[in-house]
Amino acid sequence: MTGYCVFCEIAAHREPADILYETDDVMVFRNRLRWVPIMLLAIPKKHMTQAELWGDMGAVGEAAVKVAREQCPGGFRFVSNSGYDGMQSQDHAHVHILGGIFLGEYA
């Protein structure tokens, strides 16, 4: 990896985050964006691409489901943007956990 990665910095505890769940390999924290009442991010601590993450969700998937069930008992949605056309804003692999309100239909 080259350059600055805010998610790598959060994973290393060099940038602040409201961390809800953490293991040696995974972290779930509150997103600074607030489009819906509950907006979390599940990340692998190791820097990887979205494609690498989705090739083997493993511990990140397990953590996302665990925290989503705790934080969004009425239901939740996972979102993962990939590439420019998908409006991915961070190179570090991540999954959005959205909930806390009826999310409606989507395109």
Residues taking part in catalysis: 94
Let me know: does 23 contact 41? Beta carbons within 8 Å.
no
Q: Which of helix, strand or coil describes residue 28?
A: strand
Pairing of the two strands 38-44 and 95-99:
antiparallel
Amino acid at 52: E
CA distances from 74 to 1, 56, 71, 105 (A): 38, 27, 9, 16
